[in-house]
Amino acid sequence: MEDCIFCKIAAGEMDTKLLHEDELVVAFADISPMAPVHALVVPKKHIVSVEEAGPEDRDLLGHMIHTAQKLARDLGVSESGYRLVINNGAGAGQTVSHLHLHLLGGRALEPRLG
């Protein structure tokens, strides 16, 4: 997608410090962090939301989680705990129309949702 900021980051068209890159995903720090550690794992393939992901994306979705697991270790939050979040649609807080996974950690997080 031409206007998608995450597609531009994944394509290397934006000056973004990547925390991780491989053939399927990129990861970088969130520009509006909600926790001391707040990274995004973004697929290079443009998928609008988790609702738009198809059966052919099953391995990609699993890869996103494994990438977040590696990042949690690299960023020093795997032992203290971290949260993974995927928002689906504007009503759930998705602000960029490109599937992405949030990795949050580095402090105690509220145990409840909402």
Point out the residues that are catalytic.
100
Rg (CA), the chain: 14
Burial class from Cβ neighbours inside 10 Å (0-12, 13-18, 19+) for residue 93 reads exposed
How far apart (Å, rounded) are the C-alpha atoms in residues 11 and 15?
Answer: 11
